[in-house]
């Protein structure tokens, strides 16, 4: 049983045996992510001190400016996973294509692929606002010992074996699930150890926070506009309060603890919204469901969407169950756009 003095290392070992495919491989993988998270955390925390903030002068495949810390976090996570020879493939929001690991080595028995958003909320880096890392883990579907293929990465979110995030906030936390609830660990920076601080995290079924970039309101579909107006109406526990950080990880983390809904809808400018299905929506949706919350694109469960490309985007509505269902009801009432 989880106890609050437990370190993440102890928790991983203790829970390894209850995992049905237990070979220690997933535990080692989560341990590697823990290590990379500590390294990135160290760098994020001194971002104001050294010349590492600011654009790196490169643009990623999504056409966005890469910040230096994006590049750094991307390198650190990939290097850690590669060096420890723990996965057979990696896909990253910051890489054009997936990375094959040890494809020539017939003895490479690794069966997991990892997908990461190495630094989420990157526009917040140089203004000292919380950012995060998101990860998603699948079992490969192609045979062990052969090079990974695109289809290993394009699996429905419901096939994830683990997912989680690191939030580099007022304290640094690692929150993850292996499909048996969600647990949160807080880093004690003095000794570099994560401790179980938030066992069995649960979304309140109802919440009073809505998180959306309302600057895009004019471009939203009618159902979303109506739902936002509903959030603002005076009735019962409404109007809700509005909170939007602009780091999915941080907005989600707050809403999971306090109760709330996060929306990144499609708009007349972006027909699929902005967030990436594989690196952001699927892992966050898996965590949401494991914490008794819900995630949808307005009509369909996120975890049921069959991905067609690595950098695919989808509209994303996620949070307290009753709030997401209410929003979906508005979406189906105003199907016209
Ligand atoms: P990333 O930094 O990985 O590109 O992700 C940023 C995402 C997400 O974290 C955040 O909620 C959203 O983009 C903010 O977008 P807007 O600035 O359009 O509101
Ligand atoms: Mn992101
Ligand atoms: Mn990112």
CATH of 8-198, one of 3.40.50.11740, 3.30.1360.200, 3.30.540.10, 3.10.150.10: 3.30.540.10
Q: Residue 142 pLDDT > 60, yes or no?
A: yes
* pLDDT tens column, 40-70: 999 888 877 666 666 677 677 777 766 688 9
Domain residue ranges in the chain: 8-198, 209-333
| pLDDT at 84 (0 to 100) | 87
CA distance linking residue 143 with residue 166, whole number of Å? 31
**What's the CA angle centered on 254, arms 250 and 257, to 5 degrees?**
140
Of 296, 155, 291, whose CA–CA distance to 223 is shortest? 296
What are the structure tokens assigned to 207, written together? 């919440």
What lines the ligand 1 site, CB under 6 Å? 93, 117, 120-122, 213, 246-248, 274
Q: Residue 105 pLDDT > 70, yes or no?
A: no
The partner residues of 317 in beta bridges, in order of sequence, read 263, 296
- Asked if the domains at 8-198 and 209-333 fall in one CATH topology, the answer is no
| pLDDT at 13 (0 to 100) | 86
CA distance linking residue 144 with residue 105, whole number of Å? 11
Average per-residue pLDDT for the chain: 92
Report residue 103's pLDDT band, with 50, 70 and 90 as the boundaries.
low
| pLDDT at 292 (0 to 100) | 98
Q: What is the pTM of this model?
A: 0.95
- List, in sequence order, the alpha helices (H) in the chain: 8-16, 25-45, 68-83, 150-153, 222-232, 248-258, 282-290, 321-333
Mutate to test the pocket of ligand 1, among 121, 224, 273, 283 (most ligand atoms within 8 A of CB): 121
15 preceded by a cis bond (ω within 30 of 0): no
Distances in Å between the Cα of 94 and the Cα atoms of 31, 47, 251, 312 are 22, 19, 21, 13
* pLDDT tens column, 245-302: 999 999 999 999 999 999 999 999 899 999 999 999 999 999 999 999 999 999 999 9
Distances in Å between the Cα of 58 and the Cα atoms of 52, 55, 96, 105, 274 are 14, 7, 13, 33, 20
Mutate to test the pocket of ligand 1, among 94, 116, 120, 211 (most ligand atoms within 8 A of CB): 120
DSSP output for 242-271: E---S-HHHHHHHHHHH-EEEEE---SS-T
| pLDDT at 106 (0 to 100) | 63
Q: Which CATH number is associated with domain 209-333? A: 3.40.190.80
Report residue 216's pLDDT band, with 50, 70 and 90 as the boundaries.
very high
Q: Residue 229 pLDDT > 60, yes or no?
A: yes
Of ligand 1's listed atoms, the one at least distance from the Cα of 123 is: 2
């Amino acid at each position: 049983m989880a106890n609050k003095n437990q370190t993440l290392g102890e928790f991983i070992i203790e829970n390894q045996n209850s995992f049905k495919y237990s070979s220690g491989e997933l535990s080692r993988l989560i341990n590697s992510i823990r290590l990379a998270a500590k390294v990135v955390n160290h760098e994020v925390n001194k971002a104001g001190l050294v010349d590492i903030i600011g654009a790196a002068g490169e643009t990623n495949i999504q056409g966005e400016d890469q910040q230096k810390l994006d590049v750094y976090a991307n390198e650190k996570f990939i290097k850690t996973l590669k060096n420890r020879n723990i996965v057979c493939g990696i896909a990253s929001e910051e890489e054009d294509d997936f990375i094959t690991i040890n494809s020539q080595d017939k003895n490479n028995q690794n069966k997991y692929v990892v997908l990461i958003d190495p630094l989420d909320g990157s526009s917040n880096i140089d203004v000292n606002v919380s950012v995060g890392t998101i990860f998603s883990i699948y079992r490969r579907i192609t045979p062990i010992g052969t090079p990974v293929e695109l289809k290993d990465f394009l699996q429905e979110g419901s096939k994830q074996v683990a997912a989680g995030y690191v939030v580099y906030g007022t304290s640094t936390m690692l929150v993850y699930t292996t499909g048996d609830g969600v647990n949160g660990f807080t880093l004690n920076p003095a000794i570099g150890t994560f401790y179980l601080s938030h066992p069995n995290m649960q979304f309140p079924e109802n919440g009073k926070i809505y998180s959306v970039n309302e600057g895009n309101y004019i471009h939203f579909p009618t159902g979303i506009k109506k739902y936002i107006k509903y959030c603002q109406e005076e009735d019962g526990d409404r109007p809700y309060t509005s909170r939007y950080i602009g780091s999915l990880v941080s907005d989600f983390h707050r809403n999971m603890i306090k109760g709330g809904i996060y929306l990144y809808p499609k708009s007349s400018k972006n027909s699929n919204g902005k967030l990436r299905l594989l690196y952001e929506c699927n892992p966050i949706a898996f965590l949401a469901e494991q914490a008794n919350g819900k995630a949808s694109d307005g009509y369909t469960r996120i975890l049921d969407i069959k991905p067609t490309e690595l950098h695919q985007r989808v509209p994303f509505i996620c949070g307290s169950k009753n709030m997401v269902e209410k929003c979906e009801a508005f979406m189906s009432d105003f199907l016209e756009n």
